[in-house]
Amino acid sequence: MPEIDARLREDVHLLGELLGQTIRQQYGQAFLDKIELIRQNAKSARRGSAEGARQLTATLDGLGEDELLPVARAFNQFLNLANIAEQYQRIRRRQAKEPEAFENRVLGELLGRLRKSGIEPATLATQLTSLDIELVLTAHPTEVARRTLIQKYDAIAAQLAAQDHADLLPEERQQVHASLRRLIAEAWHTEEIRRTRPTPVDEAKWGFAVIEHSLWQAVPDFLRQVDETLFACTGQHLPLEAAPVRFASWMGGDRDGNPNVTASITREVLLLARWMAADLYLRDVDSLAADLSMQQASEELRAEVGEVAEPYRALLKQLRERLRATRAWAERALTVDEEPPAEVLQDNRELLEPLQLCHRSLHACGMGVIADGALLDSLRRAATFGLFLTRLDIRQDSTRHARALSEITDYLGLGRYEEWDEAVRQEFLLEELNSRRPLLPADYQASAETAEVLATCRVAAAAPEASLGSYVISMAGHPSDVLAVQLLLKECGLRRPLRVVPLFETLDDLDNAGPCIDRLLGLDAYREGLAGPQEVMIGYSDSAKDAGTLAAAWAQYRAQESLVEICRRHGVELLLFHGRGGTVGRGGGPAHAAILSQPPGSVAGRFRTTEQGEMIRFKFGLPGIARQNLNLYLAAVLEATLLPPPAPEPAWREEIQHLAKDSLAAYRKVVRETPQFVDYFREATPEQELGRLPLGSRPAKRREGGIESLRAIPWIFAWTQTRLMLPAWLGWESALLNAIERGEGGLLERMRSQWPFFRARIDMLEMVLAKADGEIAKLYDDRLVQSELRPLGTHLRDLLSQAVRVVLGLTGQQRLLAQATETRESIAVRNIYLDPLHLLQAELLARSRRCQGDVCGGLEQAMLVTVAGIAAGLRNTG
């Protein structure tokens, strides 16, 4: 068993001991002894003991109906506590001889390298200041942790920080331990699984909570650090209004296949964001008014407030009243459609200018040390979050727009839009976009579906410009898909630019992305009407589900190369929006490495990407962790802009094309061409059960059918629960083995060492293979799968073993993650607590599939706890 850091081990031990005390208090010593026996047997089994494995299975099989849920909860809760300890380990106080964490030093080291490469300080400062990075927070159907528990987990992390001082008095340490014990008891006695499915508004509130409890503090701390690092390297400060990283959201705007997201929901979320922003700024302004009691002020400030005793407070009082008016109006507007009164803040300048005036005055009067404290933090927040916290994206499927236009053209006697070819559609759309008359008569009565599309467009048209991000079109494939949305928005009253963004998702869509955008930009009227860059979204989830991760990754790379060249030729700036998930099967993985592996020229000072559910919590849930991840994003985008990776050599391109072809064939042979595959998938994994559980507001399926009907998230999540991890590696094993058998092993090694794109893919493949476990997957087969389907499971596990062997051969290692000891150790420690959950889940699935009556509800609750525990243990799961 690998050794973990001593301080982390102490924290994990302490949290586990306190959890044990809580469990003993409720269920008694005998039950706690049974939990410990299960843990010890799992540990022994992981070390290769057949007797330990036998006793583990026997103990779990012998659990009574009333013991299933508390045992599952015990192991689930321990894994959540281990997550807290691991997260805190990343940001804990550094000891004198400890090196600075990479995440904290990455920007300074990069700026040093860029200076040595010959980039002038002024150029470097300008480039960093003008970076445009947007992280788009999205809801997650596999995020099962309740918000109330997340807040308790954050409080536990705070107590770990409180005890991390060698000079604590004994009574002070006892107080910390008492607080930890109370918080752990509160978490234990709180039901970890919500009883009802969250609404889109619930999801949006969850996103706002991440901002309130973490990012609100993390962003000014991060920008203060950036400012200090930039000044040390270039002698220039970060301007007050600089916001190199901003946030957007899909929560309440993503209606693709989700009937629960309606126009009224989108309007409500926009108003809630406005209310929340006003409330957060009010807290800031109240605090500033208490602090800024100084009398000396500049003539500029005096001219604004007059000759008053406390000028800063006088100015802030005015701002406070406007913020109160804004909050009150937003609250009223949630129930009554009311125009905002004149005192409501409408433009971010109205928020920034009073704060900037205070800042200038304090500096002018020799009080810069005061100006650059809490006031500067508020200025940084105002520049980053604005009046709306996040910019809300809207997403809808292209077929919904086409059906709406078909209904309209049919009503107008023009024929059916859906039946027209692309040339006719474009001609019609461009003519109507240029027309001054409305397309829709005032008395037009739309069907319910078309009315909802038009209502969404009216909400977008009425929303303040700064409150919206982009309108994303799923399953886009033609220029008319973009023009159609523009026309619908125009007809609903939009008179300002709004980025309309085609999303290319499947393998064929990605191959068509370049030609589609080329045709779109070839339309003079469209290109001349662009206000800003041409944004294009690259889909990772559905392309990987369609073709496997290798073929999809290469198609994504080629699409980006094509888009860069096409936009360059048309003289249009390009903004690529990366629709990544948390897991490797959906384009996930370390963001820093992923950005640095993009095609040269594709990251040109701009970068937009999704951050999803559980990964939002893991990457941004604590202020210290959030600062580290914001640092990584900033440094990676700056480096990819100024020191882009090399273009692949012709031999590499030829080889990856061959690999992708072999991988695609191997992937589809299993997933599409094996007749029993769907039946096996639904028996061997909890896929059917996941669809019934209250995990997210969006349905698990877009429609009835086979694998093609499943959303990418539950498709991957189900395989992750059984540890086969199939979508993340299937196809790689055949492609790499074929290349090695062709004698191309040396070429693969050169590609891995010299091409960041290929190296990043192999590293992510290695990580997911380290988390995969064929023996665990076999347990599910033995318990759940009919005998005639089990040979398919055996074949898939053989392919998994082949993938492990070929990756070890390529990397020259004896075991996976030999060079990533921290990750390997974390997985090894967690397996001791994951193994009982997997065994329990398989048993619960078997029981629930044959049960009838009231007992099924109890089984389902216990099973969902195992789902949550396994997700917590494996972390990037959906």
Hey, which residues are catalytic here?
A: 140, 545
Phi-psi region of 119 (alpha: psi -120 to 50; beta: other; left: phi over 0): beta
Residues 6+ apart with CB under 8 A from 275: 327, 330, 331, 334
> Is the CB of residue 760 less than 8 Å from the CB of residue 589?
yes
What distance in Å separates the CA atoms of residue 754 and residue 90, rounded to the nearest whole number? 30
CA angle 463/469/474 to nearest 5° reads 110
Alpha helices in 577-699 (DSSP H): 591-596, 613-620, 623-642, 650-671, 677-684, 687-690
What distance in Å separates the CA atoms of residue 16 and residue 40, rounded to the nearest whole number? 14
What distance in Å separates the CA atoms of residue 190 and residue 203, rounded to the nearest whole number? 20
Give kind and range of the element (H or E) at residue 560. Answer: helix 549-570
Residue-by-residue DSSP string for 254-309: B-TT-TT--HHHHHHHHHHHHHHHHHHHHHHHHHHHHH-------HHHHHHH-S-S
**DSSP letter (8 states) at residue 686:** S
Give kind and range of the element (H or E) at residue 761. Answer: helix 756-771
What distance in Å separates the CA atoms of residue 857 and residue 861, rounded to the nearest whole number? 6
SS (H, E, C) 50-107: HHHHHHHHHHHHCCCHHHHHHHHHHHHHHHHHHHHHHHHHHHCCCCCCCCCCHHHHHH
Residue labelled with tokens 């407070």: 313
Q: Report the SS3 class of residue 145.
A: coil
Q: Report the SS3 class of residue 340.
A: coil
Structure tokens at 709: 């009907």
What distance in Å separates the CA atoms of residue 502 and residue 512, rounded to the nearest whole number? 12
Give kind and range of the element (H or E) at residue 337. Answer: none
Residue count (the chain): 878
Q: Report the SS3 class of residue 472.
A: strand
